[in-house]
Amino acid sequence: MILTRWVLRLIIANVLVYVLTLLRPPFLQFLSFVPLMFFERPWTVLTYMFAHDVSGFTHILFNMLALFFFGPRLEDELGGKHFLGLYFVSGLMGAVLHLLFNPLSPIIGASGATFGVMLGYAFFWPRDKVYIWGVLPVEVRIMVIGMTVLSLFGGFGGASDGIAHFAHLGGFLGGYAYMKMLKHTARIVQVQKRIVEPIALSSDIQRWKAIQREKLHEVNRQEFDRIIAKLHASGVANLTDSEKAFLDRFSS
């Protein structure tokens, strides 16, 4: 799997902050979000997403694995700007729900943001399977539903497991709201596309469609089919720069 630009940068940022807090543990308090101290430390609604428990490695490991597996394909689909929007809106909503339902407890971790990424992935590919513990196949939509139920039970059931269940729920809620907003925006984009594309991009489209598919290597042929299908379904405006570059490489 090839890491996309922002997924890679987010993973690097999280790992660097983790190493920094390992070396300077008091710095963790500066980054953590404490609801009752929000007005004194407003930056923490963002910084808490990059801080993780330094007493073990599993906290950051699971968050980064989720970002690694679900992030690249989603970033390719949404583009860098909207992928970051989804990530941070989900993380911010995680902080908001935690503030509303558990204002006495500080939180750290990228879970809210990564849960939003999972939700965004489930919007596009709900029937894709992930393997729990590497052996149990579960559809992404079922996984998201299951994690929502567990978070609701953990949050409203008063579980004392040290997990920020409401931040997880906020991540799903923020991801859902952002994806619905994008769906609404896409209707406007489609109208603009129907007006602008035939004039400005018709030559590119014709050139790409003229690529001789049968002459491509099998691996490239599969990617070509995927991009052309996306072109037909969503238009040029929704192709990423890397997808356009792929088509240009075989059409020149």
Distance CA 89, CA 116 (A): 8
Structural element, H or E, at residue 81: helix 80-101
CA angle 206, 233, 175 (to 5 degrees): 135
Alpha-carbon torsion (241, 246, 251, 252), positive or negative: positive
Nearest to 176 by CA among 234, 242, 118: 118
Residue 137 backbone phi and psi in degrees, to 5: -75, 130
Query: Based on the domain organization, do 235 and 119 belong to the same domain?
Result: no
Residues ≥6 apart with Cβ < 8 Å to 210: 251
Q: Based on DSSP, count helices (H) and strands (E) in the chain, helices before strands.
A: 11, 2
Total domains present in the chain:
2
Residue 194 lies in a domain: no
Residue 192 lies in a domain: no
User: What pLDDT is attached to residue 200?
Assistant: 41
User: What pLDDT is attached to residue 100?
Assistant: 94
Query: Based on the domain organization, do 156 and 239 belong to the same domain?
Result: no
Instruction: Tell me the pLDDT tens digit for each residue of 131-145.
Output: 887 788 899 999 999
Query: Based on the domain organization, do 32 and 144 belong to the same domain?
Result: yes
Residue 58 lies in a domain: yes
User: Mean pLDDT throughout 180-208?
Assistant: 62
| Domain extent for 207 | 201-251
Instruction: Tell me the pLDDT tens digit for each residue of 138-174.
Output: 999 999 999 999 999 998 887 677 789 999 999 999 9
Query: Based on the domain organization, do 152 and 90 belong to the same domain?
Result: yes
Decide which of 100 and 214 is more confident.
Answer: 100
Decide which of 245 and 109 is more confident.
Answer: 109
